Structure formats: structure tokens, C-alpha cells
Amino acid sequence: MRDVTRELRAGRDIPLTAPDERVEMVITEGANHELVREAGDAVPGVLVGRTTIDGDMDQLGAEVSVRVTISVLFGRRLADASRAVRDAVIDALGAHTALRVSGVDVVVDNVHTADKLEGER
């Protein structure tokens, strides 16, 4: 929960592509972390722990790398869960930000049982 609290702070404003040059559009750094977290948590049997986004996010179209730690439901193939989280994160950031994702490192740091999954949601 400490990681979630830290990541939910607004943080810096990250530029978005605006439909008009007279308009400045941004998404907060915290919202980017929440996009990553929601994408990972949407994968069945996965709980996201810590998220890190590295790169020069202050520049429009910046290239970033993402690191996500996850816990996977016991019995689920770790490689499949990791691949699904990686794909979901790339899709979410691509759909909602102007960031270019150069890579997503998914680290499985825990395995949990179904009762843990229900307790967290």
C-alpha cells in the first residue's frame, strides 16, 4: 500500500498531443502510474506492486521504459501472466499518453492464492 500511496501523488505534468497549438494538454505523472497499475491489475490472477517509469517524460513523445512488479495467482503460468501484463501496459500507455514505450520489464516477486486476490480487491 505504501507504493500505491506514493504513486498516486500527482507529480509532474507530462505533455500530451493537443488538437490545437493554442491548447496545452497534460497528464500527471501519477495518472501515468495509475494507467500502468490498472492495466496490470486487469490481467486475471495478477496484482500489481510497484511501478516505475524511467525516461524524459517532460518531452512530448519521449521514450520511456517501464518496470512493474507483480504477484501472480498460484497455478497460473508466470510467463503468460508477465506477457499479458507487458502487452496491457504498452496498450494502455499507447492509448492514453504521448509516451513511446521502449520496453516493459515485468518482475514476478510473489505468488498468491485465490483468497489473497479476493482480499486485495
Interval 58-106: pLDDT, tens: 777 778 999 999 999 999 999 999 999 999 999 999 898 888 899 999 9
Given a contact cutoff of 8 angstroms between Cβ atoms, the answer to whether 25 and 16 are in contact is yes
Residue (of 103, 22, 21, 30) closest to 68 by Cα position? 103
2-120 belongs to which CATH class? alpha beta
Instruction: Give me the residue label for grid cell 520496453.
Output: 103
Which residues is 54 bridged to in the sheet?
A: 65
Residue (of 108, 116, 18) closest to 70 by Cα position? 108
pTM here is 0.80
**Residue 46 pLDDT greater than 50, yes or no:** yes
**pLDDT given at position 10:** 64
Percent of the chain exceeding pLDDT 90 equals 50
What are the sequence ranges of the domains in the chain?
2-120
